[in-house]
A and B are shown apart, each in its own frame.
Chain A
Amino acid sequence: MDPIAWLSGSLGVPYWAVRAVAAPLVYPGLAAFMVVALFIIWAERKIAARVQMRVGPLYVSRRLGGALQVLADGVRIAFQEIIIPVGVEKWSFVLSPILAFTVVSLAFTMVPGGPGIYGFRSSLSLLATYAIVTLTPILVIVMGWASNNKFSYIGAGREALVSITGEATLLASLLAAAMMYGSMDFVEIVEAQMRSHVPGLVANPVAALLFFIAALLVTDRLPFDLVLGEQEIVQGPYTEYTGLLFALSMALGYAKLYVLMLVFTHVFLAGWAPFTSPLLGSIAVFAKTLLLMLVAVFLRSVYGRMRLDQVASMFWSKLFPLALVAFVVSALIHPIYAP
């Protein structure tokens, strides 16, 4: 039984409208994201702890290995006072994290969570998702600018550089993949991979690797956590934030990572590949995305940090040219995805 059909019938609202609201709010949207964030932040701390031979979060819910630690932190943050410092640009300071998170959540209308589970289907949904995700750096820069704090300001400057640097490679690898499938629609991309039984990861590993590395950069994951730069600039653009605004700004990075890993799942891991039913397909997509996110947070405990100029030179002089190689690979290999 289709819950969306039932809802649209009982509310008297058209089917597409219910779907457009349910996708960003429930799955793959905010409700699913909350679960993912709670799990991933715990996993990140636990993995880093185990690699460093520590125990990690433990005392909140000892039997679950401290799994509710993040929830406890969230509750604490929710009751924390939201301090608005005297010198800040008040409205930009308050509204920019809210707006930034809202913008990222809009991406959930475009990315499918499983077969037939999406807000809108468009022939340009890949590009639209990319456009929505890459809108957030502007708001992060507004955050840093409005905070009236030198750490925030430096962080905002780094965000500008990092977003320009990372997104060129991100877009190039996505376009290489789109060229390979001959489509920018997630559903068609996944169907092309299911038809040929070759996931994009195998067909074009260069583009997949570049997308993954660039996604690490634009979501401030190590080894590229320049914007957050805890060792140097406290929390970067988020330094002055407290309470729920801080939680939103923290969730921003994880939401971006979630969206980008969903995109990776669809474009390079064949989305809901072995299954075609909505339920099993959704579970497959969710599991693949979670696995990718675990790999992304695992890398935190493997690598050190890179310097700003090292990142810029690596991306512009090494990875971006490699993206052009990915285009060549796509051009050579695209016949296997021909309908």
Chain B
Amino acid sequence: MAGSAGGDRHRSRPGLVRAHLEAIATAARRLLEPPMTMPIPDYGDARVPGYRGVVLFDYDKCIGCSLCAQICPARAIKMYRVPGDKRLRPGYNVGRCIFCGLCTDICPTDALSESIVHDRVYDDVPSMDMDPVDWAVWSRRVLEEERKPGRPLLRARVDPERGLVYERVDAEGGPVAEEKGEER
């Protein structure tokens, strides 16, 4: 089929038909080969012990001692009066927070805890400044996201022989059954 056209078009170059067929065959052969490029690894970062992200607040555990507001070096935590509540409760301004974790250390009832996220997106600057109720609701949402990761999690570990090693882990930080180390 290609012969009739190609042969007629360039009589002086008899190899042209073959050239066309070879070009098509080469492309077809390449089609069946695996790609050389690799997909971007679609992994999240697993919780690292001692990682300091945004501070989460559990309203029910809070006793309203206001120690967190006193210790906060960036004045990210302020005490608020909540309607229908006798005690003052802490509110949180993510924009001011320096993620030092002092508030979580000093909290006597562990009402404050650290998450593994610090890179969240906010609609505007005022929405970064949360009152106690907003903070508690928001903390629950962040915790849920943390517990249900949308993609597989990887944890970096320094191996004495292989250098930096990435391991699959589950949401709690335990190793996944089909443990496969992946080097990047």
Contacts and interface: CB of A to CB of B under 8 A. Distances in A.
B33 interface: yes
A84 interface: no
Nearest to B34: A53
Contacts of B35: 49-50, 53-56
B27 A319 contact: no
Interface in B28-45: 28, 30-31, 33, 35-39, 42
A314 B4 contact: no
Contacts of B31: 47, 50-51, 298
Interface string A305-331: 000000000100011001001000000
For chain A, the bracket of interface size reads 20 to 34
Contact of B30 (A51, A55, A314, A319): A51
A319 B5 contact: yes
Contacts of B36: 53-54
B121 interface: no
A55 B37 contact: yes
B1 interface: yes
Nearest to B25: A302
Nearest to B26: A302
B147 interface: no
A301 interface: yes
Given A53-B33, A53-B36, A58-B39, A301 B27 contact: yes
Query: Which one of A201, A208, A209, A210 has the highest number of Cβ atoms from chain B below 10 Å of its Cβ?
Result: A209
A91 interface: no
A319 B27 CA distance: 25
B27 A208 contact: no
B9 A314 contact: yes
Nearest to B8: A322
A52 B42 CA distance: 23
B1 A302 contact: no
B33 A209 contact: no
Interface centre among B8, B31, B36 (most CB of A within 10 A): B31
B63 interface: no
A210 B33 CA distance: 31
A213 interface: yes
Given A302-B23, A302-B24, A318-B9, A53 B30 contact: yes
A322 B5 contact: yes
B5 A53 contact: no
Contacts of B1: 201, 205, 208-209
Interface string A52-84: 111110100010000000000000000000000
A52 B37 CA distance: 10
A53 B37 contact: yes
B143 to A, nearest CB: 27
B5 A298 contact: no
Contacts of B28: 298
A209 B1 CA distance: 7
B2 interface: yes
A20 to B, nearest CB: 36
Contacts of B23: 302-303
A141 interface: no
Given A51-B27, A302-B27, A205 B33 contact: no
Nearest to B33: A53
A206 interface: yes
A201 B4 CA distance: 13
Contacts of A298: 27-28, 31
Contact of B37 (A54, A205, A213): A54
B4 A205 contact: yes
Interface in B12-61: 23-24, 26-28, 30-31, 33, 35-39, 42
Contacts of A51: 27, 30-31
A166 B101 CA distance: 72
Interface in B82-109: none
A22 B40 CA distance: 45
A51 B34 CA distance: 10
23 contacts: A47-B31, A50-B30, A51-B31, A53-B30, A53-B35, A53-B36, A54-B36, A55-B37, A55-B38, A55-B39, A58-B39, A205-B1, A206-B5, A209-B4, A209-B5, A298-B27, A299-B24, A302-B23, A302-B26, A318-B5, A319-B5, A322-B4, A322-B8
Instruction: Give 5 nearest A-B pairs by CB, closest first.
Output: A53-B36, A302-B27, A318-B9, A51-B30, A205-B1
Interface of A: 47, 49-56, 58, 62, 201, 205-206, 208-210, 213, 298-299, 301-303, 314, 318-319, 322, 325
Given A209-B5, A302-B27, A322-B5, 5 more contacts: A54-B36, A55-B35, A62-B42, A205-B4, A322-B4
